[in-house]
Amino acid sequence: MAQYSRIEVAMVMKETGMVPLFYHPDVELGKKVLKACYDGGARLMEFTARGDFAFEVFSVLNKYAIEKLPGMILGVGSITDAAAASLFMQMGANFIVTPSLREDIALVCNRRKVLWSPGCGSLAEINKAEELGCEIIKLFPGSTYGPGYVKAIKGPQPWTNVMPTGGVSTEESNLSAWFEAGVTCVGMGSKLISKEILENKEFKELEEKVAKTLEIIAKIKA
């Protein structure tokens, strides 16, 4: 079962401001990526379950996080139905991220008090997700909407917590635009954990990149 409640996960998302996204079928590579992010200060990781037998990789990585990386909160993304959400929750997923709004996923996650973050693109979807108990909305794809969309939503709905994924980079100008618009945190995949870093196994570079990005976010939020 999850090691962290949905409220605890939401608070860490808000405090750190960033959720790294990562997937690779190689378990040992995954451990090194996870540790590099952890050593860089990240306390969340979304494992984007996009490959065959991804659940086996996630299971090993989550056990590794629990045993070796105290305070690291591992969740799973790219979940498209309740059965998959239930499977990963049995493996201890601390949060579930979906590309679209699915009521069936909301129900199984709420039953276990596990945070779920659905991909939403309209105010109607956002309102529906919040009615279903969502704490943090995933704005996806973020590049399609941009910071201006977040600012427009936060005007009439200041209580809405938004996490854009896609269209977020490590540049200070990009991060400033998102956080000044009012996002709670950002999801960051290949702009943070690049293909080159993985191919060249530059884990120290990744650690430094994570630390620098978190430093920029902290400065912007302050």
Q: Is 129 helix (H, G, I), strand (E, B) or coil?
A: helix
Amino acid at 49: A
Q: What is the mean pLDDT of the chain?
A: 97
| % of the chain residues with pLDDT over 70 | 100
Tokens 């239930």 — which residue?
Answer: 86
Residue 64 neighbours by CB under 8 Å, 6+ apart = 31, 34
Length reported for the chain = 222
Q: What is the pLDDT of residues 205-219, one digit of tens each?
A: 999 999 999 999 999
Q: What is the pLDDT of residues 170-204, one digit of tens each?
A: 999 999 999 999 999 999 999 999 999 999 999 99
The pLDDT value recorded for residue 168 is: 96
The pLDDT value recorded for residue 95 is: 98
Residue 153 lies in a domain: yes
Question: Contact, 162 vs 148, CB < 8 A?
Answer: no
User: Which of the 8 DSSP states describes residue 165?
Assistant: B
Look up the CATH number of the domain holding residue 160. Answer: 3.20.20.70
Residue 54 lies in a domain: yes
Provide the whole-model pTM.
0.96
| % of the chain residues with pLDDT over 90 | 99
Residue 101 lies in a domain: yes
Domain tally, the chain: 1
Residue 15 neighbours by CB under 8 Å, 6+ apart = none
Residue 119 lies in a domain: yes
* Other residues' Cβ atoms within 10 Å of the Cβ of residue 75: 28
Residue 21 lies in a domain: yes
Separation of alpha carbons 219 and 213, rounded Å: 10
Residue 221 lies in a domain: no
Question: Contact, 199 vs 221, CB < 8 A?
Answer: no
Residue 211 lies in a domain: yes
Question: Contact, 185 vs 17, CB < 8 A?
Answer: yes
Q: What is the pLDDT of residues 12-58, one digit of tens each?
A: 999 999 999 999 999 999 999 999 999 999 999 999 999 999 999 99
Cα separations in angstroms, 51 against 1, 89, 118: 23, 18, 20
Pairing of strands 162-164, 137-139: parallel
Domain that holds residue 211: 6-216
Q: Any idea what the Cα angle at residue 36 is, between residues 164 and 165, rounded to 5°? A: 10
